[in-house]
Each structure stands twice: as structure tokens, then as C-alpha cells.
Amino acid sequence: MARYTGPSCRLCRREGEKLFLKGARCYTEKCGVERRKYPPGQHGQSRGKLSDYGMQLREKQKVRRMYWIMEDQFRLYFHKASRMKGVTGEVLLQLLERRLDNAAFRMGFAVNRREARQIVKHGHFLVNGKRVDIPSFLLRDGDVVEVRESSRELQAITESLSIAGHRGFPVWVEVDAKSLKGKFVRVPSRDEMQLPVQEQLIVELYSK
């Protein structure tokens, strides 16, 4: 996914629902899923019912595309989740939510995870006062994420934060828009994440 350069709306249409890959556009009538509610391609409107394997595969692809990560990395997250305490599917989603690029998106510093990944890699953020430019960096409870002093005038960050402020923020993060600082309060529960994902299908896919 990190190397995908095609239209983002095409990915949402393939999964049949909004993955919010285009930021503000996804909330308007211009959204690709709203305009064409069928998969892309020549036979998009005539595709039949999915098999059990097809449903499992589509669910895995949906989560990969939602968090904008590649297959090998996603598989590593699954194996890590399977070795941790708790329900594997839920732990997998929690690991993805702990990523720095995802946290930057959740805190409103980017309009989508793809942009968040880019600005993290460019070194625009501090975590607990230290510069971190690794999108996959996993946050812990209480970690503070803030925009570097030299990056506080970036138009992309300020505009995104303004838009996010109107939509609100998830309960597991705290955001101070004036100081461009956010806090990862805790790892969210499955109910709090409210993701349109059937993670058990992913577990079944990788357990074969």
C-alpha cells in the first residue's frame, strides 16, 4: 500500500465502503463511493457473491488500505498480536491504532493516514519531546505528540486541525489545538474504535 499511486477512491469502491482516504472529500457528495456504488473495473457491476475466502481476503485488504500499510508489515502485526494477551483480532486493531501516523491522523494533524505518514517521515513531530520520523512507531499510554516548533506554520497541519475540530476527536486522545499538541491517553477498546471491520475474518484467513 505504501507504493500505491493510483486513485484513492478506487480502493474505497473496491471494498464497497468509505475508508476515508481522501480526507474532507469523503464527507461530501463528491465521494467516489457515493457517486458509483459498485466495484471499479469493466465487470464491477456484474460481480457475483464472494466465497468465504473472498470475504476474508476483502476484510484483510480493507484494513490494510484503511491504515495504509503493506502486506508484509500487516502480517508482522498479526503475528505480534497473536502472541499477545487478549483477543487476537482486537489486539491487531489496537496495534494499528497505536502507530504514530495513525495517532497524528486521529489528533487532526493530517486529513488522512496517507498524509500523516508523509509528514511523520519528514520529521515534523516530537514524541515526549524527542523527534520521531518513523510512521510505525508505537505509542504508549500517556505519550505526548506535538508538532515541532519549526513546523507549526505548515498550512496542511493547521487546515487539517481546523477541519478535525468540527468533527471531534476520539476519546482515547486529547488535543490542544492552540499549542498543536496531543496526548495518546490510552489504548482504545474495540467498541470505542467503531471500525466497520470484522476482524475475526482476518484471524480466520491467517489461521489457515
Domain range list for the chain:
8-96, 99-184
CB atoms under 10 Å from CB of 75, counted, come to 13
| pLDDT tens sequence across 155-189 | 989 989 988 877 789 999 999 999 999 999 999 99
Q: Inform me whether the pLDDT recorded for 1 exceeds 50.
A: no
> Residue written as cell 489457515?
208
CA distance 19 to 146: 26
The confidence band for 20, taking pLDDT boundaries of 50, 70 and 90, is low
- Report the mean per-residue pLDDT for the chain: 85
Nearest by Cα to 33 from 21, 42, 43 = 21
Report yes or no: 167 and 127 within 8 Å, Cβ to Cβ: no
Q: 89 vs 3, 62, 103, 125, CA distance in Å? A: 26, 14, 19, 29
For the CA atoms of the chain, what is the radius of gyration?
17
Q: Which fold has domain 8-96?
A: Ribosomal Protein S4 Delta 41; Chain A, domain 1 (1.10.1050)
Helix 71-82, helix 52-67: angle, nearest 10: 100
Q: Inform me whether the pLDDT recorded for 97 exceeds 80.
A: yes
Let me know if domain 99-184 sits in CATH 3.10.290.10.
yes
| pLDDT tens sequence across 101-137 | 999 999 999 998 989 999 999 999 999 999 999 999 9
Rounded to 5 degrees, φ, ψ at 165 are -60, -30
Q: Inform me whether the pLDDT recorded for 69 exceeds 80.
A: yes
User: Per mean pLDDT, which range of 20-24, 59-63, 75-79, 86-90 is the poorest?
Assistant: 20-24
> Residue written as cell 470475504?
55
